Chains A and B, each alone.
Chain A
Amino acid sequence: MSMQSQDIIRRSATSGLTPPPQVRDHKLEVAKLIDVSICIGCKGCQVACSEWNDIRDEVGHNHGVYDNPVDLSAKSWTVMRFAEHQDEGGRLQWLIRKDGCMHCADPGCLKACPSPGAIIQYANGVVDFQSEQCIGCGYCVAGCPFNVPRINKDDNKAYKCTLCSDRLAVGQEPSCVKTCPTGAIQFGTKEDMKQVAAQRIKDLQARGFKNAGLYDPEGVGGTHVMYVLHHADRPELYSNLPKDPQISTTVSLWKGMLKPLATIGIAAAGLFGFLHYTTVGPNRAEEEDEHEQHETEEVSK
């Protein structure tokens, strides 16, 4: 891990004037490619994730749907989301999407986090949480455009998929990729994964899915987890995958414009006091004291 610290390209709450180590920043960007059209919803990846990362979520309840657990949690970093869709021809399609952190190139979580180094981004594109620096404020939850981070109620810290950064560091693929029995999840450099996707999309289009395409949204600078979708024109069909995810304007204002504005406001108030006191001087009522004494004496005469 100590060598890995040299691969950090961005840290939360850290000024660009004092960047992290940069000698090894020539690394290739990696990506996980999830081909939704191949996934059979077996949840092998969910199990592999708990297994490798050693997290044990509570056993939940059956909600009458296949989604189990029904949502991401601090102890479930990936979940399969099942959506039923009827196409134009009236045929049922079962759209199964493996949800989890997208490892955005421009991560909203990292932008929002107030604790220096609690969220980092590696040169290969992985966005990772450093739990010992986390203060549990939940700003990352507000910052993420994909609703991914979850605060653990036992320790008040934020958790999400690490893209198995520990496995990547020693040259292995993420555990979900390793486990997937159908080959629906692949891993490699981002360039390679785009090529694999392009091939697959051509295939799908030839088979009648004319809107098949790659989900690598520009609004967050692209992602290091990408989907091949049969209906890339309507990502919302896949359990509300956002069509054009972006860091919310509210968050951008809060973490952007407001800072210089606040600095100017506070500095102006302080500077005004300083200049006013040194030029006008204090406002005393003392001299009138004697004057008043005089008056009262006169009155009592």
Chain B
Amino acid sequence: MKEQLIQRYSAAERINHWVVAWCFIFLAISGLAFFYPAFFWLTGIFGTPQLARIVHPFIGVVMFLGFARQFFRYYHHNFINKEDVKWMKAVGEVMKGNEVGDIGRYNGGQKGMFWLMVGCMVVLMATGFIAWRPYFAGLFPIPVIRLALLLHASAALALIAGIIVHVYAAIWVQGTIRAMAEGVVTHAWAKKHHPRWFREMTGRKS
């Protein structure tokens, strides 16, 4: 019996995703090292604490540009509709493994996550720019830098918690990681988790 597959992400989309993901990991490691004194040793991953400090914002810019590309690829798939609201209201049922609603390419949770990421990325980029020494911080008054640092850390931590959920969801819904690794999903996967998208892709009724 041959697996029936649907292409979900092109190679370019997958590379784009993993560039952003790796940048995120390095940003989270260095950022958490600055945030938690007990994790300061994580700066050693970058060679020295000074290097970690210098490199972090540059990785941030790469990630921001990579994410911006993703934003323009996906934003039109992420407008929340009635079925998504139904999904969100029944999220408890969904978590038991029972799908709810006639879900398209993305479900309510994925769309919510998308907008959380968009918000955090914008805040991180703007506040990171304001705090960036030695290049830009000098252009801003000290109270603005203080606020930027508070917001930067807050947005980073919200994003880190969000990404943990994002990664967990991909592990929990089996067959999802394959979408981002190889680019394909099975018909069964699509039909179960994204029935409307399945119909759109295959032209079938169910």
What residues make up the interface of A, taking CB atoms closer than 8 Å to B? Answer: 13-15, 114-116, 133, 135-139, 141-142, 147, 151, 153, 156, 248, 250-251, 253-254, 258-259, 261-262, 265-266, 268-270, 272-273, 276-277, 280-286, 288-290, 292-293, 295-296
Bound-state Cα–Cα, A269 to B161, Å: 6
Which residues of chain A are within 8 angstroms of B96 by Cβ–Cβ distance?
Answer: 280
Asked if residues A138 and B137 are in contact (CB atoms below 8 Å), the reply is yes
- Name the residue of chain A whose CB is nearest to the CB of B146: A250
CA distance A296 to B43 in the complex (A): 55
Subset of 26 A-B contacts with CB under 8 Å:
A13-B40, A114-B37, A135-B43, A136-B50, A136-B53, A136-B134, A138-B137, A139-B149, A141-B142, A141-B145, A142-B142, A142-B146, A147-B142, A156-B134, A251-B146, A254-B153, A261-B157, A262-B35, A265-B157, A273-B164, A277-B172, A282-B174, A285-B189, A285-B193, A288-B192, A295-B206
B contacts with A: majority SS: helix
* 0 or 1 for each of B51-89: is its CB under 8 Å from A? (1 = yes): 011100000000000000000000000000000000000
**Highest count of chain A CB atoms <10 Å: which of B49, B137, B162, B173:** B49
Write out the residue numbers on chain B whose beta carbons fall within 8 Å of the beta carbon of A293: 1
User: Are B37 and A258 in contact (CB-based, < 8 A)?
Assistant: no
CB distance from B90 to the nearest CB of A (A): 15
What mask results when residues 192 to 203 of chain B are scored 1 for a CB within 8 Å of chain A, else 0?
Answer: 110000000000
Cα–Cα, bound, A248→B171 (Å): 43
Which chain B residues (152-181) contact chain A, with CB distance < 8 Å? Answer: 153-154, 157-158, 160-162, 164-165, 168, 171-175
* B residues less than 8 Å from A133 (CB atoms): 49
CA distance A112 to B161 in the complex (A): 24
A281's closest neighbor in chain B, by CB?
B97
Please determine whether B146 and A248 come into contact, CB atoms closer than 8 angstroms.
Answer: yes
A285, B174: Cα distance in complex, Å: 7
B53: chain A residues at CB < 8 Å are: 135-137
Name B's A-contacting residues (CB within 8 A): 1, 3-4, 33-38, 40, 43, 49-50, 52-54, 95-97, 131, 133-134, 137, 142-143, 145-147, 149-150, 153-154, 157-158, 160-162, 164-165, 168, 171-175, 186-189, 191-193, 206
How far is B53's CA from A135's CA once the two chains are assembled, in angstroms?
A: 7
Contact at B191–A285, with CB atoms within 8 Å?
yes
Evaluate whether A285 and B153 lie within 8 angstroms (CB atoms) in the complex, with A14-B37, A269-B164, A273-B168 already known. no
User: Taking each of B36, B95, B150, B154, which has the highest tally of chain A beta carbons within 10 Å of its own beta carbon?
Assistant: B150
